[in-house]
Chains A and B, each alone.
Chain A
Amino acid sequence: MQLTLWTYEGPPHVGAMRIVTAMRGMHYVLHAPQGDTYADLLFTMIERRSARPPVTYTTFQARDLGGDTAELFKDAARNAYETFAPQAMIVGASCTGELIQDDPAGLARALDLPIPVIPLELPSYQKKENWGAAETFYRIVRSLTKPVTDRQSSSTPSCNILGPCALGFRHRDDLYEIKALLAECGIAVNVVAPEGATPADITRLGDADFNIVLYPEIAQPAAEWLKKNCGQPFTTTIPIGVNATRAFIKEICALAGVTPPADDMNARLPWYSRSVDSTYLTGKRVFIFGDATHALALARVARDEIGYTVCGLGTYTREFAREVRAEASAHGIEALISDDYLAIEAAIAAAQPELVLGTQMERHIAKRLGIPCAVISAPVHVQDFPARRSPVMGFEGANVLFDTLVHPLMMGLEEHLLGLFRDDFEFHDEAAPSHLGAKKAAAPMAQPANEDWSPEAEKELKKIPFFVRGKARRNTESFARERGLFPISVETLYDAKAHFGR
């Protein structure tokens, strides 16, 4: 048993839902109790999809147990076929369905429906959402795609884009960017899957020359199967950030046998980063946590393209722990591989970053600790499915990332200026920075034991930007403690600053 407050990933059948919900003409019959229908709201409320997920739940009850839950499943599958007329169906069980061992695969086979029915085995007590999504996509591809033995080289090179699905972080907008990029390179798109694909589309995945794996968490197993059975190589570069996008273009052009375009198109990040007013970003300490794909990419972008120092890096995706560990050691830190919310909160508090890049969970942690934060990975909330286009991939994605990574610190700076002009008649202690709306920001940093600080030093401390103030306070106090310099004077404050100065 594992004590869990908040989870980064749902159960594996929610991963399966992310695949079918993204597709068209596919239906999922899930052997599950009524409460599991909550998962619909993830798609209709958080992602604002305008249709119900194509999922039929059997919603068996206690009184059905030991009786006819198997019959219930068969009825549900038959009704789903008649009502929704899908081209193909997947069948499986949720955690409770798994325990009652009704064998959805066998029951569905017995129905002898005139469409492909793909059984799923998703071990709910071992695996999680992303694994479930990847496994489902792999099973669908493996069941429906026609293998290719003698690959002809086509006149126009083409590829499939694999990975975008429902509830993904900015998948919709990334896809738009990548399609534009491919058009620029003169590479045709054969099929995008799972997003928008029908079972019929899946059968012709083999027609493409190669595969683009946008999200390895979702598409890696399917891409490996396609490599083996259709002879299609797949990409390994994730085009997040300017450097990675350049490398990605090189990679796809080599796979397609075309000449890469000459320039960086609309990349503004390099100039924005080099322009003088970005100087203050240098060496800002950033803590990064998310799924492996986004955490890895953001660590590189933060260091190489913005000039930050990565002081923490972690992921909840255990499947890619090795890659994240390697990247962390390149930053001289140790990776945090965990999905324990409290452990991650403690790690962030200990690292004392000036900026947190994470999921909605880290956004809440950062808020509590009073540290600026941006969301860069699933799981996310409704506000992270913006109406406007807001990719993180490709050159426009890099532009978006520049804004995303810099904006929260600029807001911090605004607060700092407000502090400096504290005595100005238009500014006062109760005024909040405009980005926080009318309410004054909560001050979550520990309040001082007043005897430890002289009033002058206390006043001086307040001039330090809030997002480093806590650290300055702690450093100064430990400096003073070691030397017995209480109460802390302005002098001691600056001595400590010099002592700890980077």
Chain B
Amino acid sequence: MANDRTYDAIIVGGGHNGLVNGSYLAKAGLKTLVIERRHLVGGAAITEELYPGFSFTTFSYALSLLRPDIIHELELVKYGFKPLLMESTFAPMEDGNYLLLGQDHQANIAEIRRHSKHDADAYDQYSHDVNRVCRAIKPLLDNIPPDITSRDPEELVRMASLAQHMRDLEPRVLHNAVRLLTGSAADFLDDYFESEILKATLSSSGIIGTKVGPRSQGSGLVLLYHYMGEHDGDQSSWAFHKGGNGGFTQVLARAFQGFGGEISLESPVARVITSNGKATGVALEDGTEFSANIVVSALDPRRTFLELVDPRELPSDLVENINRFRFQGTSAKVNFALDGLPKFPALGDRADQFRGFTNIGPSLDYLERAFDDAKYGWYSQRPYIDACFQSTVDPDMAPPGKHVMSGFIQYAPYDLKGSDWDTEREKFGDTVQAVLESHFPGFGDLVLHREIVTPLDIERVVGLSEGNIFGGEFLAPQMFFFRPAPGWNQYRTPIEGYYQCGSGTHPGGCVMGAPGKLAASQILKDAKP
């Protein structure tokens, strides 16, 4: 085999986790190759000009959970890292009223008082309590979780330090953590608030990407996960990277190349080559082979264990666990190129409310009904929409005066009962647009272009199985010790030299980079003589 196809490490998949992983390996001096199936890196975090002059964040659209260590350790500022601020959350209501929360604490309190004087006070308590839980949980994001199946002394130390960490928490913080990690977002919020719009708005981060309603147990975990996001240390405030999340993954690609890494585009990997239980390289679909003693899959667990390698080489309990690992994607996107910003009647000509997230999910009942549709195999007739008019934050996303809107939609279950997504695509787009029209009369007249992204598209284009945006559901039995399977939550696989670093590993999905980084630390540790 030609020498120039030999590397120290090969990463399959050029999503952000693959790039983060590759950057750490290249920085440590390994000759590293990232192999990407598509014509661009970024995976679910890309920006594309799908309509002339308009940049779309086709899939992932906001940045906040990226681990701060990665920014510094990979010198991302030098390569153009620029997280802009999404100023506010705007929640229109069905009666024409609204809730608008922004960066000014006093103004937020006054705004909540319009809806409930009680909640205005409770809001600070809620923020304080959840922030304290975040501080307690965040270290878990930045460390490799223990392997509960192992009696190795190192693992026992990990377990002991985890137990110590829990013991050090104030009882109230620990209890709140458990309430969130095991309960529903609605129950938790009910304990603080009476205002429907406030509860609904806060609970919506508990359903993102996940097949749960706000009243389902498990939505608390998803809420907490998102609450840990930050913009410049400002908890629960989110960033929009210059040029979208695709702008961010281009920064990562430059950093990776800056550390000496190489990228091969339009190179779908067919399989990982193994010999005597060890990884020795990869083969592309066109038969080209690359060799390396370290091969890292940055794909989701189904592809990592069932497609890139022959599952017969793996222990059957692992195969069984991966087979029942839940994906069941329930999210879609409808993105728009707009001739201008919409108008919200109660705010007249004002438009500053659109400089952040526009959250259409006016009550817990609304969200729960939207979920009901999905439970029975159909997309929501009145869907939840998280809209961002991104050109208000980064004017370079659209021509002057025009705007681009990212619309994240739930629920849109991967499996439709009695139909399929290619048939339903336009009707689904119309359903979403009708909801927008009902809040922003005249919205339809602004539409220059509409891009519908179904769960099937997410699977086809990005490769995320069943379109699950997180590379696997955020359900307690699939997190931490168990992500993606007990005994295999430390980025290794049963095949020596074959590793995993995608969103299906700890801590999980979102543009966070933690799986890529933690996997790199494991790989580099194993590689030490």
Chains A and B belong together in one complex:
no
Which residues does B use to contact A, with CB under 8 Å? Answer: none
Binding site for B on A (CB under 8 A): none
